[in-house]
Amino acid sequence: MNIAELDGRIGEGWGGLSPNGCHINVILAHRGSPTAAAAISMFTHPSPGHTPVLCCVGASQPEYQPVWPPTLMMNKATANTPALETMTWGPGQLGIGQAVLDSVAAGLIEASGDLIVLVAIWLDGDANDETKVRLAAREAVGKAIRMAVEGRDPAAAAALVENRDSLRNPFYSGD
């Protein structure tokens, strides 16, 4: 599939277990498209506790390199403690970068400046294991990119429709 055909494709993934698991949303954008413009505009709208970054990896700050394709990362949970900031922009960012590079290695996406990967990450404020967070982010982003590129499993989508009256959510405890 060429990069233009990926524009606007959306994927979702969960990795790991709470409190060290994470939830990911991915949007793929073709550079120069309205989707890419919307993704890039988030850089002009940071808010306290929500800082968009270009995903970079490296053993030290002077060694940082951007993941390619360019990957824009935004946290969904407000990073309002030093611990959550560290988990988000440390192991969360590293796991995101590794998953994007895994997806390039697997041939799902190209390492091209014409593709932009937008990743929104949710981490639990009680996350406490950097390795588990990194692995969870890597797993979740991998799932989300695969869904964005390959599409939703039609049988899984049909099952949701069929079972819509009995669906549950871990954050809902009502009837």
The residues that are catalytic are 23
- Cis peptide leading into residue 82 (ω within 30°): no
Residue pair 54/66 in contact (Cβ under 8 Å)? The answer is yes
Q: Sheet harboring 71-75: ordered strands across?
A: 10-15, 22-30, 115-123, 71-75, 53-54
Q: What's the CA gap between 14 and 91, in Å, rounded?
A: 15
SS3 assignment, position 170? coil
